Structure 1
Amino acid sequence: MKNLLKLLMLFTIGIAFVGCSSLRTVSDVDKDVNLSVYKTYNFYDKGLEKIRLNNLDKRRLMAAVETEMNLKGFTKADKPDMLVNLVVVARERADIYDSGFYGGLGWGWGGRWGWGFGGPWGGPAYVNQYQEGTIIIDFLDPAKKILFWHGRGAGFNLDNFAKREERLQQGVGEILKQYPNNGVTAK
């Protein structure tokens, strides 16, 4: 019975971690802008200076954006049609997992067989503290000085270093997947 409860608790914690690992993405586009005129890009330097990531992660994030932009058919240029602004916002998160009430079939008071429930005092609680990051990708028109597309992905665990490069690439891919197809042909 104890082993079953431990397995159930581990399963519940595993499901909770899987549920917390997905990136929540949203985007917004200026409907009055003709997206087909944008074929080249480069990074907005003033925005890069303000990113609060270490240099390794900053380069990883930029490489992930470059990869996705190239897959979408855009070309990096010195005098681009659009600038890519990157922002990373972090906040402290604490997830608490409590095993809660115990229950199930078993022997009860007076030697009776049946359903029973225990109290919350029976199981340990687990706390997972980490920095949750939100990655923001904005597309700016340098000639018109306007923002014409905004994409955001929230829920990136900044304290998890396992497969960090792959997770950044996947996260940027999920965000940029929301950019409307603008007629630029993929290479």
Structure 2
Amino acid sequence: MKTLKLLPILLLFILASCDTVQVYSDYDRSVDFAPYKTFAFMKSGIDKVEISDLDKKRILNAIDRQMQAKGFTKSETPDLLVNIFTKSREQVSVNQFNAGWGYGWGYGWNPYMYGGQTTVSSSTEGTLYIDLIDAKKKELVWQGEGTGTLSKNMDEKDVIVNDIVTQILAQYPPTLPKAKK
């Protein structure tokens, strides 16, 4: 019976440990985003990004799909230039789980319990920045940032990149706060 009581708590920990994408955006409040209808990638900036060409291609294809889904078209004379840059860092997680009977306190976590287990795992956390630059003024008008756990598995990479790009660009165009009356 005690096992059944622990099951919801265990499920909560499993769900809480699932990887999620954290997304943020920032923008110039003085800019009217409505006139922007076309885009192009800023080759000079994208060429400097230090990731594999395959990963660049994944990111650019995902951005292209999302921008077109928002009604933008690619152009040789764009309203917006799209640039990207990335960061990554190694994440190390140490988890301790003690299950068993300890000093008469019953089941559950207890620092004095027997049967403890420690696991160490590592993963790579990556951050993708997407910059939207006014092509005429050459000024940054919007920046989106998404952070998530990366994978070396090719199929997972496609899903992760699409998810991060979709969530970042879901915040564009920015919703301007309503003026107070």
TM-score band w.r.t. shorter chain: 0.7 to 0.9
Unaligned runs of 5+ in 1: 109-113, 183-187
**2:131–2:140 contact (8 Å) kept in structure 1:** yes
Whether 1:159 and 2:157 are equivalent positions in the alignment is: no
Cα 1:76–1:11 shift into 2, 3 Å: same
Q: Work out which of the residue numbers 150, 163, 175 in structure 2 matches 1:170.
A: 163
| Aligned partner letter, 1:15 | L
Q: How does 1:104-115 map to 2 (within 5 A)?
A: 115=106
List gaps (5 residues or longer) in structure 2: 176-181
C-alpha contact 1:29 1:150 (8 A) present in aligned 2: yes
Hey, what does 2:43 align to over in structure 1? 45
AA in 2 matched with 1:179: Y
What TM-score results when the alignment is normalised by the length of structure 1? Answer: 0.78
Which of 117, 128, 131 is residue 124 of structure 2 equivalent to?
131
1:20-31 equivalences in 2 (<5 Å): 21-31=19-29
Deviation string, structure 1 residues 73-93 (Cα, Å, up to 9, x no partner): 000111111100111111111
- 2:103–2:112 Cα contact (<8 Å) kept: no
Number of positions where the alignment pairs a residue of Structure 1 with one of Structure 2: 170
> Partner residue of 1:17?
17
TM-score (norm: length of structure 2): 0.80
User: What is the rounded CA distance, in whole Å, between the counterparts of 1:60 and 1:87 in structure 2?
Assistant: 13
Q: Deviations over 1:129-157 (max 9, x none)?
A: 12210010010012111100011011x22
Q: 1:146 to 1:180 in 2, by over 3 A?
A: same
State the match for 1:92 in structure 2. Answer: 90
- Pair 121,115 (structure 1): closer, same or farther in 2 beyond 3 Å: closer
CA RMSD of aligned residues (A): 3.0
- For residues 48-98 of structure 1, the C-alpha deviation after alignment (integer angstroms, 9 at most, x for no partner) is 112222111110100000000000000011111110011111111111221
Secondary structure at the aligned position of 1:27 is classed as strand
The one-letter amino acid of 1:14's match is: I
* Rg comparison, structure with higher value: 1
Task: Rate the CA distance shift 1:10–1:145 in 2: closer, same or farther, 3 A.
Answer: same
Structure with the higher helix share, 1 or 2? 1
Q: Which of 132, 137, 147 is 1:144 aligned to?
A: 137
Deviation at 1:16, TM superposition (A): 4.5
Label 1:98 to 1:45 Cα distance change in 2 as closer, same or farther (>3 A).
same
Residue identity matched to 1:76: K
| Distance (Å, rounded) in 1 between the aligned partners of 2:33 and 2:162 | 24
Residues 102 and 119, structure 1, Cα contact 8 Å, conserved in 2 = no
Match of 2:78 in 1: 80
Amino acid aligned to 1:37: P
